[in-house]
Amino acid sequence: MTTPRRRVALSLIEGRAHYDEIVMRVVAGARVSVWIATANVKELRVEAPVGTRARAQGRYVSVLELFTGLAARGVELRLLHAGVPSRPFREELARRRALTAGGLAMRRCPRVHLKMIAVDGASLYLGSANWTGAGLGAKGDGRRNFEAGVLTDDDVMLDQMQGTFDSIWSGRECKGCRLRSLCPAPLDVIVAPPAPSALPLPPRPRSRTRPT
């Protein structure tokens, strides 16, 4: 079956732009949902919120502080990962009981190697960058990874990738997984997956800003 051609907004994201565009503009501006898929999870430091003393002092804070603010606004936060998060990330998360009590949901599947960030059902990043400081360009010149990806608002790609994400997240991929015997905690055991028809994708805002 041939996919019809369509016009889409597509931006190339490289190096430091992962931090400036993806983390500080797209993720920080979320209004409905943030879905992240990554192989590795490490502590990520970001600029302190505008108007705070830490910002005036030029200090950086954990990205989990950003997540805490998003959760307080009712944004759904999902983090799907393959490896065990780094110790600094786990220690920072343990200090944020409000966030772990329902603001940030995390699930692990060892087969996850895709790097994806979907925000509000309106913006999609696909690329090479893991959810780490080096991957997302938060490290200084000469220290960050060489990474590249694309940012788009294409409806077809958003629907496809959010569907892929949710299929893993809900445990629907577990039954046919040939690595199940090696999995530390199959998601279909941890999660009682509802019927696919009961899993709506995040709604798209009526007005969307296309990536430039």
SS3 per residue for 2-14: CCCCCCCCEEEEE
Identify which of 175, 161, 67 has the alpha carbon closest to the alpha carbon of residue 114. Answer: 161
Identify which of 101, 3, 91 has the alpha carbon closest to the alpha carbon of residue 42. Answer: 91
Q: What is the pTM of this model?
A: 0.86
Does residue 172 sit within a domain?
Answer: yes
State how far the Cα of 69 lies from the Cα of 186, in Å rounded to an integer.
31
Range of the domain at 89: 10-198
> What is the per-residue pLDDT across 102-139, written as a single tens digit (0 to 9) for each?
899 999 999 999 999 999 999 999 999 999 999 998 88
Mean pLDDT of the chain: 89
Band of the pLDDT at 100, cuts 50, 70, 90? confident
Higher pLDDT, 65 or 208: 65
Does residue 58 sit within a domain?
Answer: yes
What pLDDT does residue 52 have? 77
Does residue 179 sit within a domain?
Answer: yes
148-153 average pLDDT score? 98
| CA angle 47–81–44, rounded 5-degree value | 15
- Is 46 in contact with 66 (CB distance < 8 Å)? yes
**CATH number assigned to the domain comprising residue 140:** 3.30.870.10
- Is 23 in contact with 15 (CB distance < 8 Å)? no
What pLDDT does residue 193 have? 47
User: How many structural domains are present in the chain?
Assistant: 1
